[in-house]
Amino acid sequence: MSDLVAVADASNWDGEVMKSTDVVMVDFWAVWCGPCQMVAPIVEELAQEYQGRLKVMKLNTDEAPEVAGKYQIMSIPSIIFFKGGEVVEKIVGARPKQQFKEIIDSLLSQSSATA
């Protein structure tokens, strides 16, 4: 895993995600999940491409079930985008990289327009 992708868990959730002023993309995943393994390289590529503009986190749902439960994660992978501690977008299931980029670009353009 790239050093651009941080690990989220219950201990750092508030500081890294809820109190962040950046757009935060959180990949809810598990080791045993095949589609999660398919999405992982895309998440890493996005972290590199959007470095400095998007915070990218991964949360293992087996290791932090209380956080996953709070966001009603029923299927993984689930990618949730946060802004100012609020959920602003959610993707469930493996998707092509372009779909992620469209959402990220839209969220970043909204953020720069309000800044």
Active-site residue, from 8, 24, 33, 73: 33
Q: Which of 6, 17, 25, 36 is catalytic?
A: 36
Q: What is the pLDDT of residue 36?
A: 97
pTM: 0.92
Q: State yes or no: pLDDT of 71 exceeds 90.
A: yes
Sequence-distant (≥ 6) Cβ neighbours of residue 94 within 8 angstroms: 35, 38, 39, 77
User: What confidence score (pLDDT) does residue 107 get?
Assistant: 95
In the chain, the amino acid numbered 72 is Q
What pLDDT shows up at residue 45? 96
Per the structure, the complete domain to which residue 67 belongs is given by 5-114
Mean of per-residue pLDDT scores for the chain? 92
Burial of 19 (0-12, 13-18, 19+ CB in 10 A): exposed
Structure confidence at residue 114 (pLDDT): 60
pLDDT tens for 16-61 read: 999 999 999 999 999 999 999 999 999 999 999 999 999 999 999 9
For this structure, is 19 an active site residue? no
* Number of continuous H segments (helices) and E segments (strands) in the chain: 4, 5
CATH code for the domain of 104: 3.40.30.10
Q: Is the pLDDT at 115 greater than 80, yes or no?
A: no
Specify whether 6 is catalytic: no
Q: How many domains does the chain have?
A: 1
